[in-house]
Structure 1
Amino acid sequence: MPALPSLISMMSQLIASPSISCSQAHWDQSNKGVIQLLESWLSSQGFQCEIMPLPHQPDKFNLIATLGSGDGGLVLAGHTDTVPYDEGRWQSDPFSLEERDQKLYGLGSCDMKGFFAIVLDTVQAMQLSNLKQPLIILATADEESSMSGARALVERGSLKARYALIGEPTSLTPIYAHKGIMMERIQITGQAGHSSNPSLGNNALDAMHEVMSELMIFRQQLKKDYRDASFVIDYPTMNFGCLHGGDNPNRICGRCELEFDLRALPGMSNQALMAEIAQLLPRIEEKTGTKIQLNSLFPDVPSFYTPIESDIIKACEALTKRQASTVAFATEGSFLNQMGMETLILGPGSIDQAHQPNEFMALDQIQPMQQVIRGLIERFCLQPNKQENEEQRA
């Protein structure tokens, strides 16, 4: 079996292949180059690779690479895209891996192309010719924007394993839960007119004031009714992110829009929250004589939760010697759970470096992550699963 490039070389090549995903078309790029690199390396190590184009996005791809077979097994998952970068604020080329001060700098170094290099370097050094259960490497598209890669996998329903680890940067702390996220827009259409005579128009900003007041009451009610002490921010949050309306002080505002996010705790339904918000609007619409529309900016991401007693969480707590915790940011974890896998989030690097100029992965994160990967493969792929053991004892 041919040897792979060094870990640093693989990481360099992945970072050198731009794969930005973004809601703004001028930033958005294909991830094909990254997928082709991963496919070539994994195929050389005996993995059966499937490149999966996303529906309605011919330049975006998932990769499913499988070694071994069985009804259990382990998925090591990550996304191949990055966020945009701040031009002029990097100390080095974002697409050229550079080592400084025991850190590896580059766009995607910790979020999360570096994870794939670590996985490949670990796997090639292991003896995997006698797998009892499959090892699957999953690389997805568009996690940083729409999560359409993970959504496509759920819709197709063909990815099957018992356990999954997503290597998002968690500073090697096992994560068993995170909040969901919704991003919404409320648009109000009134009637423009000369500001000297209010009767000539219908001010959309006045109506928006009423909408925001109702949403703030709703936000306080959520905080009162829902708490989860396992989170640092232990209640659902709603953030008014941007407000646009009108065009001049001497014109009645004819149109106004508000964009906000809502992050729900595990166990809460995004759809139920949307329905509650929608019920607030018709009364204001009737009272103000405006037209009010509520729309999603992106499909929602459900909250993520895997029971703390799960085998993979217990295994990762033992391997890292760290207690499983929660995070505020969203991942593809809920989608993998929907496919029947007990999933946790654990990876090298810190989320504090992600989405920032001069993103880096500290070198001292690599070896501990490799130990976790080896331990999980040995536990869930090289040993018979529990059901087989019980059948043998019977």
Structure 2
Amino acid sequence: MIEMTPDQILERLVAFPSVVGTPNQAIVGWIADYLEQAGARVTLLAGPEGDRSNLFATVGPADQPGYLLSGHMDVVPAGEPGWTSDPFSLQRDGERLTGRGTSDMKGFLACAVAALPAIARRPLERPLHLAFSYDEEAGCRGVPHMIARLPDLCAPPLGCIIGEPSGMRAIRAHKGKAAARAAIGGRAGHSSRPDLGLNAIHAMAEILDQAVTTARRLTKGPFDENFEPPYSSLQVGTIHGGQAVNVIPDQCTIELEARAIEGVDPVGLLAEVEACLTTLTDRGFTAGWEVLSSYPALSLAADAPLAGLMEELTGQTPLAAVSYGTEAGLYQAAGMPAIICGPGDIGRAHKANEFIELAELTACVRMIEALGNRLVL
């Protein structure tokens, strides 16, 4: 095979517009072909949607415990104003590589794919796995299906490295998250006769009040000073309803999320809002509640072997925590030690002219190669 450099692979990956919630056969197929040519055993794991798949690849003896490199293939849409180039065509400006997903997180995927051929040629005593998921940006929807299949694919890993952008400094913890949609159905009519209708927006105001009350209460603790802010949080992010100012609105929908410190159930933080919603049915409204996504917090002890390994591989003491979430909590919940470490900066993600530096890719490849050295006979 003709081996490619990380930036060459990144150029190919960015060119696939693998936006969250859309089919991903093209990017999955390209990665699978490359890894198979490199000597990896590749399994494609179709999700229940039918048009997108997770990808799992192994080099070395799968029946032995090894290490797993995890990343997601999807990206957020690139509709932000301010892009100065095609988001799905990698642009090079000296050391800077610009394009959607360069930091979050096709840069890490490119490094893992680029490092694999050399590792595959070595006499491995323990395996290295690549676990690439879909629809992470929709609340980690794809990876649970892959995690459920891992017992059939490999021995329990010694550790999972989730390559979200962290400036190549490992991170031991993050908050958990749950998102939900609340929908109210009322009765339409002319605004001059409010007594004959049921105003769904007015009813939703009660739900919003409960959400704000819960959010304020959470600021009073419990606390974990490793996070910013050091408490769990709740917010309403969207609201939709009504047709015209002179029509009684018969529909109103909100989407809200909760982010939870370790030891707090993120879905449980939404319970008071859900309970308030259900009381509306006694007054003739219809009420719908749907949990859109959820994932648990991550918490890896400072003295865990995986934390020590990452300090050796990166030369930096792992950070205690970040407030954003990743798939790492799901691996940990399934019994696998997990930690975050990848190239790029989360501050560049989800905005116009997202970029990564060549030096960041180089540092990531070196980390993966150093990990590969630990797996050799």
TM-score normalised by length of structure 2: 0.90
Letter of the aligned partner of 2:174 in structure 1? Answer: H
Structure 1 residue aligned with 2:11: 12
Q: Structure 1 residues 244 and 96, CA, compared in 2 at 3 Å: closer, same or farther?
A: closer
Q: Structure 1 residues 206 and 95, CA, compared in 2 at 3 Å: closer, same or farther?
A: closer
Q: Structure 1 residues 64 and 157, CA, compared in 2 at 3 Å: closer, same or farther?
A: closer
Deviations 1:6-64 (A, max 9, x none): 33222212222221123xxxxx2x2222222222222222211112222x333212221
Q: Distance in 1 between matches of 2:334 and 2:256?
A: 29
Residue pair 1:179, 1:304 contacting (<8 A) in 2 also: yes
Q: Distance in 1 between matches of 2:279 and 2:261?
A: 28
Residue pair 1:21, 1:145 contacting (<8 A) in 2 also: yes
Q: Distance in 2 between matches of 1:208 and 1:73?
A: 51
Residue pair 2:258, 2:270 contacting (<8 A) in 1 also: no
Measured on the aligned residues, the alpha-carbon RMSD in Å equals 2.3
Structure 2 residue aligned with 1:311: 305
Residue pair 1:71, 1:162 contacting (<8 A) in 2 also: no
Q: Structure 1 residues 221 and 301, CA, compared in 2 at 3 Å: closer, same or farther?
A: same
Q: Structure 1 residues 166 and 285, CA, compared in 2 at 3 Å: closer, same or farther?
A: same
Of 160, 163, 167, which aligns to 1:167?
163
Residue pair 1:162, 1:340 contacting (<8 A) in 2 also: no
Structure 2 residue aligned with 1:66: 58
Q: Structure 1 residues 59 and 314, CA, compared in 2 at 3 Å: closer, same or farther?
A: same
Structure 1 residue aligned with 2:331: 336
Mapped pair 1:349 → 2:344: yes
Superposition pairs for residues 112-127 of structure 1, below 5 Å? 112-126=105-119
Structure 2 residue aligned with 1:361: 356
Deviations 1:331-388 (A, max 9, x none): 1112222332211111000111112221110122122222322232333x237xxxxx
Residue pair 1:63, 1:138 contacting (<8 A) in 2 also: yes
Structure 2 residue aligned with 1:300: 294
Of 204, 210, 215, which aligns to 2:211?
215
Mapped pair 1:83 → 2:79: no
Mapped pair 1:325 → 2:324: no
Q: How much identity, in percent, do the aligned residues show? A: 31
Residue pair 1:308, 1:324 contacting (<8 A) in 2 also: no
Q: Note the C-alpha offset of 1:304.
A: 2.2
Mapped pair 1:239 → 2:235: yes
Q: Note the C-alpha offset of 1:141.
A: 1.6
Q: Which secondary structure state, in structure 2, belongs to the residue aligned with residue 57 of structure 1?
A: coil
Mapped pair 1:374 → 2:374: no
Q: Distance in 1 between matches of 2:248 and 2:113?
A: 61
Residue pair 1:74, 1:377 contacting (<8 A) in 2 also: no
Of 191, 197, 206, which aligns to 1:195?
191
Residue pair 2:184, 2:200 contacting (<8 A) in 1 also: yes
Mapped pair 1:144 → 2:137: yes
Mapped pair 1:269 → 2:265: yes
Residue pair 1:154, 1:338 contacting (<8 A) in 2 also: no
Q: Which secondary structure state, in structure 1, belongs to the residue aligned with residue 169 of structure 2?
A: coil
Q: Distance in 2 between matches of 1:347 and 1:77?
A: 10
Q: Structure 1 residues 280 and 98, CA, compared in 2 at 3 Å: closer, same or farther?
A: same
Structure 2 residue aligned with 1:255: 251
Q: Structure 1 residues 252 and 72, CA, compared in 2 at 3 Å: closer, same or farther?
A: same
Q: Note the C-alpha offset of 1:116.
A: 2.2
Q: Distance in 2 between matches of 1:359 and 1:266?
A: 30
Structure 2 residue aligned with 1:386: none
Letter of the aligned partner of 2:53 in structure 1? Answer: F
Q: Structure 1 residues 100 and 156, CA, compared in 2 at 3 Å: closer, same or farther?
A: same
Deviations 1:217-262 (A, max 9, x none): 2222222232111001111111111222222223333322222111
Q: Distance in 1 between matches of 2:78 and 2:56?
A: 28
Letter of the aligned partner of 2:369 in structure 1? Answer: R
Mapped pair 1:103 → 2:102: no
Mapped pair 1:39 → 2:32: yes
Q: Distance in 1 between matches of 2:206 and 2:273?
A: 13
Residue pair 2:171, 2:321 contacting (<8 A) in 1 also: yes
Q: Distance in 2 between matches of 1:328 and 1:108?
A: 20
Q: Distance in 1 between matches of 2:57 and 2:42?
A: 4
Structure 2 residue aligned with 1:390: none
